[in-house]
Amino acid sequence: MEFNIPTKIIAGEGCVVANAKQLGLGKRCLIVTGHSSAVRSGALSDVRQALDSIGAGYAVYDRIGENPLLSACAEGARLARDTGAEFVVGIGGGSPLDASKAIAALAANDMPDPMGLWDANVNVNPPLPVVAIPTTAGTGSEANAYSVLTLDGRDVKKTYSSPNTFPRLAFLDARYTASLPERSTMSCAMDAACHCLESYLSPKSTVFGEVYALRGIELIAPALWSMADFGGEDDFAAYIAPQREALLTGASMAGIAISITGTGFPHPMGYNPTLYCGVPHGLACGMFTEAYIEYCGAAGGATGERLARFMRSAGMSAGEYAALFNRLLARADIRLSRGDVRLDEWVTNAGGASNFANCFAPYDTAGIRGLYETVCERYMTL
């Protein structure tokens, strides 16, 4: 049994500026962000202030979109090398944080083809140190080694990770999540909840991972109920404010849990609705959570017992948990166009994922098409 989470996590309001000296990982850095969230959340301003206070120079790469492209990471890596960056600061949701890890590795290894990221013969130098600052409460990317990237022109996601891709440092300040819209907040919270469930039901789970998965869902589940019961007024940001710190902490705990176990089949199943139909990642994973719960419950034995223990921590039955997810998905108003649901491609894309075996009751990949047909029909509009 091993437990190695080498990320130092500093949490609390104003923690970036208050701990500016912790950013002294080099004389220059590359700040990696999306198009607007780092500015809108106030995180970029705090990072600039902190870096200025310790005399560290920086350049900003703000071209990371949702489902970060490998080509964008290669472009960011070139900027890092050109500006002499010695470390990378990622600010944003899962996409900028995941991209930061890839950029750090590509910047340390000047390879002609960024696909070399997965080639141990050319990706030989350890990545630049990464500082992760989440502005969403969902992916837990700040606390794990995974970098999920989209391969250009192929509508395929591929995960890069190594023991060296854990962020060196992470700052958790719930204020940075306050500008997140309602639908995005729901999606991120569902993603974190999926991490907890899928980690706990993994045969790779250890007592260390279980602690984080169960405590994570204890923090996340009440906020999910609040979101499902919210009346739809315009002041969602103020309404959810008391839960934001719990969501951020729970999401990071979930990120630690999956760093030990990986995820189950809702994740690779959800990648296709995201890539082909634009369904946000957490909502896409949530689309397959009811089927995951039913499958694990039907397995009985040790799997059923673990599912029941997880639900006790969530404070509800398995049926209530599935119903909660469905209420949130209905609230998010997911709509799939029949022309975008390309089952042959989806089955091929998902079929090779190791996640299907990552459950105490391994899922038969032959059932992928049927599961897609059943779940997607519920959200089909055209």
Q: Mark whether 135 and 220 lie in a shared domain.
A: no
Q: Mark whether 255 and 162 lie in a shared domain.
A: no
Q: Mark whether 251 and 287 lie in a shared domain.
A: yes
pLDDT digits (tens, 9 = 90+) for 141-190: 999 999 999 999 877 899 999 989 999 999 999 999 998 989 999 999 99
Q: Is residue 350 part of a domain?
A: yes
**Distances, alpha carbon 195 to alpha carbons 29, 174, 306, in Å:** 31, 20, 15
Q: Mark whether 154 and 196 lie in a shared domain.
A: no
Q: How far apart are the first and last CA of the chain?
A: 50
Number of domains in the chain: 2
Domain boundary (148, 176, 204) is at 176
pLDDT digits (tens, 9 = 90+) for 99-120: 999 999 999 998 999 999 999 9
Domain boundary (133, 153, 176) is at 176
Those residues whose C-beta lies under 8 Å from the C-beta of residue 131, and which sit 6 or more positions away, are 23, 25, 29, 87, 88, 89, 90, 167, 168, 169, 170, 171
State percent of the chain over pLDDT 90: 83
**Distances, alpha carbon 83 to alpha carbons 27, 44, 87, 88, in Å:** 11, 19, 11, 12
Q: Mark whether 326 and 306 lie in a shared domain.
A: yes
Q: pTM for the complete prediction? A: 0.95
CB 128 within 8 A of CB 88: yes
Q: Mark whether 58 and 82 lie in a shared domain.
A: yes
Going by C-alpha positions, the residue among 144, 252, 202, 209 that lies closest to residue 3 is: 209
Going by C-alpha positions, the residue among 184, 207, 174, 212 that lies closest to residue 7 is: 212
Q: Is the pLDDT of residue 360 over 90?
A: no
pLDDT digits (tens, 9 = 90+) for 7-60: 999 999 999 999 999 999 999 999 999 999 999 999 999 999 999 999 999 999
Q: Phi and psi dihedrals of 156, rounded to 5?
A: -130, 135
Q: Mark whether 133 and 236 lie in a shared domain.
A: no
Going by C-alpha positions, the residue among 103, 59, 62 that lies closest to residue 84 is: 59
Q: Mark whether 200 and 268 lie in a shared domain.
A: yes
Residue for token digits 């130098």?
A: 125
Q: Is the pLDDT of residue 382 over 70?
A: no
Predicted pLDDT of residue 175: 95
Predicted pLDDT of residue 141: 98
Q: Is residue 3 part of a domain?
A: no
Angle of the 318-332 helix axis to the 289-299 helix axis, nearest 10: 170
The boundaries of the domain holding residue 33 are: 8-176
Q: Is residue 308 part of a domain?
A: yes
Q: Is residue 2 part of a domain?
A: no
Q: Are strands 57-61 and 147-151 parallel, antiparallel or unpaired?
A: unpaired
pLDDT digits (tens, 9 = 90+) for 220-234: 999 999 888 876 656
Q: Mind spelling out the 3-state secondary structure of 8-57?
A: EEEECCCHHHHCHHHHCCCCEEEEECCCCHHHHHCHHHHHHHHHHHCCCE
pLDDT, the chain, mean: 94
Q: Mark whether 168 and 190 lie in a shared domain.
A: no
pLDDT digits (tens, 9 = 90+) for 305-342: 999 999 999 999 999 999 999 999 999 999 999 889 99
Predicted pLDDT of residue 156: 86
Going by C-alpha positions, the residue among 135, 222, 197 that lies closest to residue 171 is: 135
Q: Are strands 169-172 and 8-11 parallel, antiparallel or unpaired?
A: parallel
Q: Mark whether 80 and 121 lie in a shared domain.
A: yes
Predicted pLDDT of residue 270: 96
Predicted pLDDT of residue 233: 58
The CATH number of the domain holding residue 61 is 3.40.50.1970
Q: Is the pLDDT of residue 380 over 90?
A: no
Predicted pLDDT of residue 254: 98
CB 252 within 8 A of CB 143: yes
Predicted pLDDT of residue 232: 62
CB 184 within 8 A of CB 284: no
The CATH number of the domain holding residue 351 is 1.20.1090.10
Domain boundary (176, 200, 232) is at 176
State percent of the chain over pLDDT 70: 98
Q: Mark whether 166 and 32 lie in a shared domain.
A: yes
Q: Is residue 189 part of a domain?
A: yes
Predicted pLDDT of residue 239: 75
pLDDT digits (tens, 9 = 90+) for 202-225: 999 999 999 999 999 999 999 999
